[in-house]
């Protein structure tokens, strides 16, 4: 009997080490001899062979196990599922396979009370994060729990996936989570009580990119944590100078993504990417001034080196935005078909200070025809020799408007006022930009 036991232990070890090494042939041979090995677990951590395959990303072995109808939700000593381990180690194919067979995304481990969504966010695996979110949208979780609630799910200490991504300096995950409805102002203390916000944790981690994202999605620089500190104080204490400069409540307000607007939430991916890029660029312009003033140097991000001037040199005159005369028209308003650049579109929609109770009340109107904007799409590039699109750029005023627009004198004064606002980047530094436009476009009879 002693012999049989030691033999079983050897086979068990044999299976686990074969899985660890990704040795499919040996794994198959061992299971041929004793299929029940699949339900064994390691002595100390209580890991199953499925856990080991998932953590190491051996998709063929994992698939073979799942075909033998192993429970995809079996847990180890810390109540971690194979899905959590795959998400922790960024094994995207295993994550996808486990989701396909219906692995439970609402399991909590016993270490910190975290879900697979927390794991993907904490370890910064944005592909796994995206896969889990997609699965959540189509699974029963969305029905029973509500998708928004799942995105903002809390661990044992009250941290949402957004908190963890911000703390661990994972800007890509921060972006995906915000884009999927994560609450930028969530407090680890729960509703109504003091705790840390994602902005506090980003300040602690010192990630400028995370801070940019959070600010652009309306995170509040004045919210206090349990010790009464605002994120600015946290960044100062950790000696993250550039982060502190952005978080300083006396520095200029960033532009905030107008997420409460209906047509913004209905944007297609292409138009959304254009507008988001324009927003981040505008905030970077504003940021440069803040950091210059604070005498901090930013590592220059390679992708933001494209300036408005570069765009101009590439654009033929006919495609230039009739509001700013600086950028190419990339966004079209539906159904009227009027076009403007992404910067000017955002200038129309952005709220410097988001107010969730009022920001939805006045949807912006098309600056050309004043119809309420129902939808924004990416503008189609026009034929350069189309006579309809000749615009005189020799003067700063709009001398020769597009023939089809029929701009009245009153409306052209609106154009002028917007032209004087100049580039969107400059406008970003001025808190009154939106108010000025509202007076021109909305309040006037
Ligand atoms: Zn423009
Ligand atoms: Zn229009």
How far away, in angstroms, is 329 Cα from ligand 1 center? Answer: 7
CA distance 64 to 268: 38
The domain locations on the chain are 12-153, 154-251, 255-294+319-351+364-379
Q: Which ligand is nearest to the CA of 364?
A: 2
Q: Which ligand is nearest to the CA of 312?
A: 1
How far away, in angstroms, is 424 Cα from ligand 1 center? Answer: 8
CA distance 264 to 331: 12
Q: What is the CATH number of domain 154-251?
A: 1.25.40.20
pLDDT digits (tens, 9 = 90+) for 24-76: 999 999 999 998 888 888 888 899 999 999 999 999 999 999 999 899 999 99
Provide CB contacts within 8 A for 444, sequence distance 6+: 410
Q: Which ligand is nearest to the CA of 371?
A: 2
How far away, in angstroms, is 364 Cα from ligand 1 center? Answer: 16
Provide CB contacts within 8 A for 202, sequence distance 6+: 166, 167, 169, 174, 210, 211, 214, 231, 243
Top pLDDT among 389 and 321 is at 321
How far away, in angstroms, is 426 Cα from ligand 1 center? Answer: 12
How far away, in angstroms, is 348 Cα from ligand 2 center? Answer: 13
Q: Which ligand is nearest to the CA of 376?
A: 2
Q: Can you give the pTM of this predicted structure? A: 0.76
pLDDT digits (tens, 9 = 90+) for 121-130: 999 999 999 9
pLDDT digits (tens, 9 = 90+) for 149-204: 999 999 999 999 999 999 999 999 999 999 999 999 999 986 666 899 999 999 99
CATH superfamily for 255-294+319-351+364-379 is Zinc/RING finger domain, C3HC4 (zinc finger) (3.30.40.10)
CATH superfamily for 12-153 is Ankyrin repeat-containing domain (1.25.40.20)
Q: Which ligand is nearest to the CA of 341?
A: 1
pLDDT digits (tens, 9 = 90+) for 2-22: 344 444 445 557 899 999 999
User: Could you tell me the pLDDT band of residue 434, with boundaries at 50, 70 and 90?
Assistant: very low
Domains 12-153 and 154-251 share a fold: yes
């Amino acid at each position: 009997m002693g012999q049989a036991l030691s033999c079983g232990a050897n086979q068990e070890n044999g299976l686990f080490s074969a899985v660890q090494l990704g040795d499919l042939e040996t794994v198959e041979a061992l299971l041929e001899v004793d299929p029940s090995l699949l339900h064994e677990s390691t002595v100390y951590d209580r890991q199953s062979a499925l856990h080991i395959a998932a953590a190491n990303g051996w998709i063929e072995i994992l698939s073979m196990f799942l075909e033998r109808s192993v429970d995809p939700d079996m847990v180890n000593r810390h109540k971690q599922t194979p899905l959590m381990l795959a998400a922790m180690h960024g094994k995207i194919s295993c994550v996808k396979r486990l989701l396909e067979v219906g692995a439970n995304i609402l399991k909590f481990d016993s270490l910190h009370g975290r879900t697979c969504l927390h794991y993907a966010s904490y370890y910064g695996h944005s592909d796994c994060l995206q896969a889990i979110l997609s699965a959540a949208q189509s699974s029963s979780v969305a029905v029973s729990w509500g998708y928004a609630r799942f995105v903002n799910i809390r661990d044992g200490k009250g941290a949402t996936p957004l908190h963890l991504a911000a703390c661990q300096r994972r800007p890509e995950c921060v972006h995906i989570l915000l884009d999927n409805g994560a609450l930028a102002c969530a407090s680890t203390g729960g509703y109504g009580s003091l705790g840390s916000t994602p902005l506090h944790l980003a300040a602690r981690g010192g990630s400028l990119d995370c801070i940019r994202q959070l600010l652009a999605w309306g995170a509040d620089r004045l919210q206090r944590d349990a010790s009464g500190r605002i994120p600015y104080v946290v960044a100062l204490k950790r000696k993250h100078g550039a982060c502190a400069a952005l978080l300083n409540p006396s520095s200029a307000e960033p532009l905030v993504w107008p997420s409460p607007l209906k047509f913004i939430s209905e944007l297609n991916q292409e138009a959304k990417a254009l507008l988001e890029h324009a927003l981040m660029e505008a905030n970077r312009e504003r940021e440069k001034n803040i950091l210059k003033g604070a005498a901090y140097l930013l590592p220059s991000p390679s992708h933001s080196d494209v300036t408005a001037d570069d765009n101009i040199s590439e654009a033929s005159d006919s495609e230039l935005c009739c509001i700013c005369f600086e950028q190419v028209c990339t966004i079209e308003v539906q159904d009227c078909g009027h076009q403007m650049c992404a910067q000017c579109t955002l200038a129309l929609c952005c709220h410097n200070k988001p107010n969730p109770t009022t920001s939805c009340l006045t949807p912006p109107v098309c600056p050309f025809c004043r119809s309420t904007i129902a939808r924004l799409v990416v503008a189609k590039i026009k034929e350069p020799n189309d006579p309809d699109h000749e615009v005189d750029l020799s003067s700063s005023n709009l001398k020769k408007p597009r023939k089809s627009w029929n701009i009245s004198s009153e409306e052209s004064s609106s154009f002028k006022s917007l032209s004087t606002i100049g580039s969107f980047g400059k406008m970003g530094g001025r808190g009154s930009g939106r108010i000025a436009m509202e007076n021109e476009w909305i309040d006037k009879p």
